[in-house]
Structure 1
Amino acid sequence: MKPATKRPPTPPPLPPPFASHTARIERPSTYLPSLEAAGSNFVDTATYVPKLDEPIKPEWYFFYGTLAKPDILKHILDLQEEPLLRPAKIIGYKLASWGQYRALIDGEPSEEVSGFAYEVQTIEHEFKLARYETNAYKLHRCRIRFTDNTEPRELSGNTFMYAGDAGALQAGRFDRVLWELQMGTRLPDKWKTPTEEILRRMGVEPNVLNDSGR
């Protein structure tokens, strides 16, 4: 007797046919309520760009070195015309030599540094000045006093000061502070050279320096 043959499984029923476009379920649109909430001037509102109440104001800078030369300043800022510099001075500062350059450092209250002031017009120009000065100098607020008998006679502005150790600069010693700023790292403590040893290498005895009252 032959075994009964198994019938294949019954296939699943076919899905119902798609409803015609006339039988779509209508859903409420969220676009129209949003459009009504925007008001009648929604086009102006969408394209409105807010403006700053106060635009960026020019900033005065005091220069005492190479930047005080109009041709150099014109080249650095990529100006079309020669810049207008006003003779000026700052009080309470003095200049020291840093290689072939001049460096502004703190001085006695009565000391003065003469130079020129320039009204920088844009932030881009401020960035160019900072890039030119490098990190050997730092931006510093100062009181600029004009010496050309023209108004304004005095105002607050910026200048670039020496960013390292002013004492080491004046003594002609290795400036550890400036070296670390420029290299972006700190010297190990074992590399520190005592002041007495530095003076001996310069041919100056420490007791002589102390007797001089410096």
Structure 2
Amino acid sequence: MPDPTPPPLPPAPKPASKAINLKVSAPPSQSKHNRTTNALLPPDQPFSPCYMFLYGSLMDPEVLQAVLNLPELPTTRPATISGFKVRMWSIYPALILGDDDEKVSGVVWKVEEENHFKRLQEYETGAYIWTWCEATLDDDKKVREKCRTFCWAGDPHSKELEDGSFDLARYQRVLKPSIVRKRPAVP
């Protein structure tokens, strides 16, 4: 079977409008069942830096650099989150709620700029929605406050999702070159 065609990079970010409604989930201080309740972020709430838990192609610093057009490789740290699990949407990993003892491995990276967060949202497409999470770093330190990740926005029981796992090494070998090669020059 031939290797799949890589996804295109999302379009360049558009200038922000004055009123932006983002779908989000409840903050981590709420119960597991409440964190699936979507709410609207008030348009007047300013962006503030946050950590992102990344678990797919964006775990690779060169891919993250290309997607965000960063001048330097971003510094990420290995981390895990609990209470979630990964299903596959074709070749893409999709995070859904799982049992409290289930863990997903990935990395965390601090998003300092609102345009970077918006670019990540575009890259993830409407198939994903961000939610709060608590990440545990490899040294057992917790990233509790202002840590987000992207989850599957649809029905977690959808027939579009299959059991499986994301193979980062295969992605890096087969698809990464087309993403990194498309990286525009940093001004």
Please give the TM-score of this superposition, normalised by the length of structure 1: 0.51
Which is richer in helix? 1
Q: Which of 56, 77, 82 is matched with 2:68 structurally?
A: 77
Matched, 1:155 2:144: yes
Amino acid at match of 1:87: P
Higher relative contact order (CA 8 A, sep 6+): 2
Partner SS state of residue 166, structure 1: coil
Contact 2:65 2:73 in 1 (8 A): yes
Amino acid at match of 1:154: V
Contact 1:93 1:113 in 2 (8 A): yes
* 1:27-106 pair list within 5 angstroms: 57-106=48-97
Structure label with greater radius of gyration: 1
| Distance in 2 separating the partners of 1:74 and 1:154 | 22
Contact 2:51 2:109 in 1 (8 A): yes
Matched, 1:124 2:111: no
Unaligned runs of 5+ in 2: 1-45, 163-187
Number of corresponding residues = 116
| % identity of equivalent residues | 37
Unaligned runs of 5+ in 1: 1-54, 173-214
| Distance in 2 separating the partners of 1:148 and 1:74 | 25
In structure 2, what is the equivalent of residue 165 of structure 1?
Answer: 155
Contact 2:127 2:152 in 1 (8 A): yes
Amino acid at match of 1:120: V
In structure 1, what is the equivalent of residue 178 of structure 2?
Answer: none
| Distance in 2 separating the partners of 1:169 and 1:60 | 31
Amino acid at match of 1:163: A
